[in-house]
Amino acid sequence: MTAREQLVAYLATLLAIVLLVLIAALLSRTGRSLEAVGVGGACMYWDRNKLNALADADDVERVTRKINGGVNGLADRKALLVKAKGLVL
């Protein structure tokens, strides 16, 4: 590993630690849980990537590609969609 690569890796680790400390401080001040922040982040990602239209059309493959970049687990997602629709409809 070159000196530059080591520096980049060190700075990335340092940044991650700083972000974790800041997030922990923010959570303690607001009283929000880490789970709530995770759900909020997932919702923001869903909205920013305009996934509602794809989900409304049951386009599991395109939603999977937008989120994961591929289709790993696609069969499981399709099966879960069918199961969930059976519960709702």
pLDDT surpassing 60 at residue 29: yes
Please say whether the beta carbons of 75 and 83 come within 8 A. no
Please say whether the beta carbons of 64 and 73 come within 8 A. yes
> In sequence order, which residues have a C-beta less than 8 Å from that of residue 62 and are 6 or more positions away?
54
Mean pLDDT of 40-51: 89
Mean pLDDT of 41-70: 92
Nearest 10 degrees: Cα torsion 63, 66, 67, 69: 120
- Domain spans of the chain, in order of start: 50-89
> In sequence order, which residues have a C-beta less than 8 Å from that of residue 64 and are 6 or more positions away?
70, 71, 72, 73, 74, 77
Q: 2 — alpha (psi -120 to 50), left (phi > 0) or beta?
A: beta
Of 30-39, 45-54, 69-78, the least confident: 30-39
What is the structure's pLDDT at 51?
94
Q: pLDDT band at 30, cuts 50/70/90?
A: confident
What is the average pLDDT score of the chain?
88
What is the structure's pLDDT at 89?
56
